[in-house]
Chains A and B, each alone.
Chain A
Amino acid sequence: DTGVSQNPRHKITKRGQNVTFRCDPISEHNRLYWYRQTLGQGPEFLTYFQNEAQLEKSRLLSDRFSAERPKGSFSTLEIQRTEQGDSAMYLCASSDYTEAFFGQGTRLTVV
C-alpha cells in the first residue's frame, strides 16, 4: 500500500495531556498538509510543508500545536495541554503539483 498512512487511527486522552500524531506521505510527494475536521464540518487547513520547510500555518494552529517534518519524509503533529475543543479528526494529505491524497485520519477524543 503506497497511500498516505496516519497513526494512530484513534486516540482518547485526558484533558491537559500531550498527544502526538504521525503521518507518512506518499514517498515521492514533497508537499504535505494537515487539516482538522470537526463533526459535521468540512476539513480546515492547519499547516503546509514543502519538503522539510513549514511554509504556511493557519491561525487555527494555536501555540499549543506544533508540527514537524524532519528530513522531508514523515510528519508529526503534537498538541500540548489538550482541551476538549481539540476533539476532532486530524487529516494528513500529500501531493505532488496536482492532486492531494488523504490519509484515513486520526480521531482525537479529549475527555
Chain B
Amino acid sequence: GNSVTQMEGPVTLSEEAFLTINCTYTATGYPSLFWYVQYPGEGLQLLLKATKADDKGSNKGFEATYRKETTSFHLEKGSVQVSDSAVYFCALSHMNNNAGNMLTFGGGTRLMVKP
C-alpha cells in the first residue's frame, strides 16, 4: 500500500536559517504529492503540491521538487521566520474512483523557529 515517511521532529532553528524537512514515499504509479501545514489549534492548510515527476511546488518561500528516482519530496526554505513555526505534513494521493483523491499522510514534523 501507499506510505509516507518524514523526518521526526522537533526541528529547532534560528530565524533566517535554512530549512530542510525530508519526505520519502512508497506508492504504485504516479501519485500527486503535497505538503500541508498545521498551525496550533488550526486545521491543515495546503502549502504546496506537485502532480508529476520533476515538478516543483512553491509557496510563501517554501519549495519541494517531485523526485521519482528517489521517491522523495523534500521541503526547503531558504530563510525561516518565527511565524513558520508549525507542524508540517507530507502527503500523497492517487485519484481513485472509490476513494476520490484520498490523502495518505506522514507522521508530521514540528518546526520551532527561535528569534
Residue pairs across A and B with CB atoms within 8 Å: the count is 65
Chain A: minimal CB distance from B35 (Å): 12
Chain A: minimal CB distance from B32 (Å): 9
* CB of A91 within 8 Å of the partner chain: yes
| Chain B facing A: main interface SS | strand
The proximity string for B residues 65-109 relative to A, scoring 1 for CB distances below 8 Å and 0 otherwise, is 000000000000000000000000101010011111111111110
Contact residue range for chain B?
20 to 34
Contact residue range for chain A?
20 to 34
Which residues of B31-59 have CB atoms within 8 Å of chain A's CB atoms?
36, 41-46, 49
- Select from chain A the residue with minimum beta-carbon distance to B95: A97
* Most chain A beta carbons < 10 A, residue from B91, B97, B103, B107: B103
The residues of A that contact B102 with a CB separation of less than 8 Å are 33, 45, 48, 56
A56 vs B103: C-alpha distance when bound (angstroms): 13
Interface positions of A (Cβ within 8 A of B):
4, 31, 33, 35, 40-45, 48, 50, 55-56, 91, 93, 95, 97-105
